Amino acid sequence: MTQDLEPMVKVTNVHKVFGRKHHVLCGIDLEVNAGETVVILGPSGSGKSTLLRCINFLEGPTAGSIEVDGVVIHAGENSKLRNQQILDIRKKTGMCFQSFNLFPHMTVLENIIEGPTTVLNQKKNQAIPYAEELLDWVGLTEKRDEYPSHLSGGQQQRVAIARSLAMKPKVMLFDEPTSALDPELVGEVVEVMERLAKEGMTIIAVTHEMHFARDVADRVFIMDNGNWVEEGPPDKIFNNPEQERTRQFLAHIL
């Protein structure tokens, strides 16, 4: 594993307040090194999605700062420069959603080249070879010209992963990528995530896929009520947790 001096993602004392007083994140710190895979677990409503969405500024943090691959943004006022930095961070991070969110008016291939052509101004024929490589990598070459509505959930999620990867991101964020899937389709998506981790992608995943958390993650974080309860290597978290709260939570989901 490569260990840079600076972490790839650095979340510093991030707070998120919805409305005036719904305090969802209460001073979260998180450092993820390049190539590391981190899994976040926690009860529903504890703020896991909100944290992921703060990292790529789909939600603006109320306080604190976010750093991705050297781009630092502090919570607070909008400015031209800051908006540009937000776009920079988004280009460096890919995100996969629970509900896939493929673009239904575009074919699989068009979905994948949309980022490179629109955001990175690549020519179509410049973007297509890499898109085809990615399609092959997620095992969907034969679905190249299908529309998303003709694919199964597992296939859609794999296309969504390819769409994110087409931007050559430094970090991938996964927000419960398998929880909208039928049980028999979960495996194919987890398998792709696993290969991604093996190839050295930096990954932050919220997932209740225990195999992924146990066998693929380098570190597991437990969140409750917008705070970290505990963190550590999966071995320690699952077999020998320090906190009573972790024990309770794991007993609940295992």
Partner 1 sequence: MNNNTTDQQTPAIPSGIPQEAQAVLQGIEAQETKYRRNLIIAFAVLLSLMIASLVIIGLDFKFMIKWLPFILTGIGYTFLVSSLAISLACVLAVLGALGRLSENPVLNSIATSYVSLIRGTPLLVQVYMWYLALPQIGKSLEEFGITGIQALFTLPAIPAGILALGVCYGAYMTETVRAGIQSIKLGQTEAAKALGMTNSQTMRRIIFPQALRVIIPPVSNEFIAMIKDSSLVSLMGVWELSYRAIKIGRRHFQSLEMLITVAMIYWVLCMILQLVQEKIEKHMSRGDRRTQ
Ligand X SMILES: Nc1ncnc2c1ncn2[C@@H]1O[C@H](COP(=O)(O)OP(=O)(O)OP(=O)(O)O)[C@@H](O)[C@H]1O
Residues of the shown chain interacting with partner 1 in the complex, contacts defined by CB under 8 A: 56, 58, 87, 90-91, 93-95, 97, 99, 101-107, 114-115, 118-119, 147-150, 160, 163-164, 167
- Of 68 and 213, nearer to partner 1 (C-beta) is 68
- Nearer to ligand X by C-beta: 28 or 197? 28
Judged by CB under 6 A, which of 8, 11, 24, 161 binds ligand X? 24
Q: What tokens were used for 15?
A: 């707070």
Judged by CB under 6 A, which of 46, 157, 164, 207 binds ligand X?
46
From the list partner 1, Mg ion, ligand X, none, partner contacted by residue 148 (C-beta under 5 to 8 A by kind)? partner 1
Residue 169 in contact with ligand X, rule: CB under 6 A: no
Considering beta carbons, is residue 118 or 239 the nearer one to partner 1?
Answer: 118
Q: Which of residues 23-62 bind Mg ion (CB under 5 A)?
A: 49
Q: How far is the CB of 61 from ligand X (least distance, A)?
A: 13
Which one of ligand X, Mg ion, partner 1, none interacts with residue 97, CB within 5 to 8 A by kind?
partner 1
Residue numbers of the site for Mg ion (CB under 5 A)? 49
The site for ligand X (CB under 6 A) is made up of 18, 22, 24, 42, 44-50
